[in-house]
């Protein structure tokens, strides 16, 4: 039986995403752990994860899985094909063939992997409705040969210029090319994956409230202050939130009573018909609350990965 390994490329900066893609929630864990577990369930071993940006963090996150790690030290100035080559060098001597898979394609189905494993050919590429995607599977000696390619087009260019026949495997799986470079693409992928019956990823959700003699500040009040700042009117702010004006006034009154200082300055009459603006302390309160919630969410996400991120 042929030994099949995998090169999982996770060295990129994720700059357009503005988040670290390998650690984003997917399934019941994270993108990187989901892919690793799927490959291992298919009997694929060894697996090398090529890291770069935040490599130490990713290595710690996957340390219990038994995968290998290779780091692209020059990840800021090199291309994906350079990371692929590093991965090939790391495991090509230990397997007969290997799969190449970027970390930003977490929605590939196990049946797609099974279909590839059933075929023995020098280069196997998945295709869905005429569009090629990943994984790409190579004989190990072919993978070593492709490393010497210096032309354009990265791995695709190396394959197309190798002169070796490409075996296309037609699969019914859009996950082979549904990557995620932006937050919008990530959300679209989650929605699409849910619609095909795979579920949304699990992550902790927090709601932070400030309490004195009673709870007085949370997401609702924060949103009300936001709209007051945007509109210059408590009445318009209430309309944006679909609450009554009397309820909005009560929320502000309760807030100021608990704090002991005004957060909204109001005036009536005049040519403009009156209005409301945030005080300096009101704006400072909003800013501090937003930063605190973001910090608590980051800590909570890390705790989730520590205690539940391995799946269950």
Residue 16 contacts residue 57 (beta carbons within 8 Å): no
Handedness of CA 36, 39, 45, 48 (dihedral sign): negative
pLDDT of residue 138: 96
Q: How far apart are the first and last CA of the chain?
A: 31
Instruction: Tell me the pLDDT tens digit for each residue of 169-186.
Output: 999 999 999 988 888 999
**Residues pairing with 217 in the sheet:** 210
What the block records as the tokens of 277 is 């603006």
Q: How many CA atoms lie within 13 A of 243 on its CB side?
A: 16
**Please, which residues bridge with residue 42 across strands?**
none
Which pLDDT tens digit goes with each residue over 110-150?
Answer: 999 999 999 999 999 999 999 999 999 999 999 999 988 88
Residues of the chain with confidence (pLDDT) below 50: 270-272
* CA dist., res. 6 & res. 95, Å (int): 9
Q: How far is CA 219 from CA 211, 284, 286, 293, in A?
A: 13, 16, 10, 10
Whole-number pLDDT of residue 311: 61
- What tokens appear for 93 in the block? 């001597």
Q: What pLDDT is stored for residue 193 in this prediction? A: 85
pLDDT at 271: 47
Token pair belonging to 123: 């280069």
- Which structure tokens are listed for 58? 């990713």
Q: What is the pLDDT of residue 205?
A: 82
Question: In whole angstroms, how far apart are CA 278 and each of 114, 181, 222, 228?
Answer: 60, 37, 12, 7
Short-list 62, 63, 65, CA closest to 40? 65
Instruction: Give the model's pLDDT for residue 310.
Output: 62
How many Å apart are CA 282 and CA 290, to the nearest integer? Answer: 12
């Amino acid at each position: 039986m042929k030994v099949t390994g995998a090169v999982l490329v996770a060295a990129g900066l994720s700059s357009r995403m503005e988040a670290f893609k390998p650690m984003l929630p997917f399934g019941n864990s994270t993108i990187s752990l989901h892919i690793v577990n799927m490959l291992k369930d298919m009997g694929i071993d060894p697996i090398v994860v090529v890291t770069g940006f935040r490599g130490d963090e990713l290595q710690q996150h996957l340390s219990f899985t038994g995968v290998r790690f290779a780091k692209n030290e020059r990840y800021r100035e090199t291309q994906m094909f350079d990371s692929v080559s590093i991965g090939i060098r790391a495991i090509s001597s230990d397997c007969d063939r290997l799969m190449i898979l970027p970390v930003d394609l977490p929605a590939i189905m196990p049946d797609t992997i099974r279909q590839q494993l059933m075929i023995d050919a020098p280069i196997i590429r998945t295709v869905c409705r005429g569009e090629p995607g990943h994984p790409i599977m190579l004989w190990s000696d072919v993978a070593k040969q492709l490393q010497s390619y210096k032309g354009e087009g990265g791995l695709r260019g190396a394959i197309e210029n190798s002169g070796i026949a490409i075996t296309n495997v037609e699969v019914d799986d859009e996950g082979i090319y549904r990557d995620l470079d932006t937050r919008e693409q990530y959300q679209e992928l989650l929605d699409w994956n849910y619609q095909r019956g795979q579920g949304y990823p699990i992550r902790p959700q927090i709601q932070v409230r400030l309490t004195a003699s009673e709870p007085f500040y949370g997401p609702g009040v924060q949103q009300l202050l936001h709209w007051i700042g945007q509109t210059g009117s408590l009445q318009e702010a209430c309309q944006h939130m679909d609450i009554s004006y009397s309820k909005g006034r009560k929320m502000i009154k309760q807030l100021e009573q608990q704090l002991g200082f005004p957060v909204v300055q109001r005036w009536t009459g005049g040519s403009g018909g009156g209005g409301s603006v945030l005080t300096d302390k009101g704006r400072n309160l909003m800013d501090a609350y937003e930063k605190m919630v973001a910090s608590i969410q980051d800590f909570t996400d890390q705790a989730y990965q520590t205690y539940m991120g391995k799946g269950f």
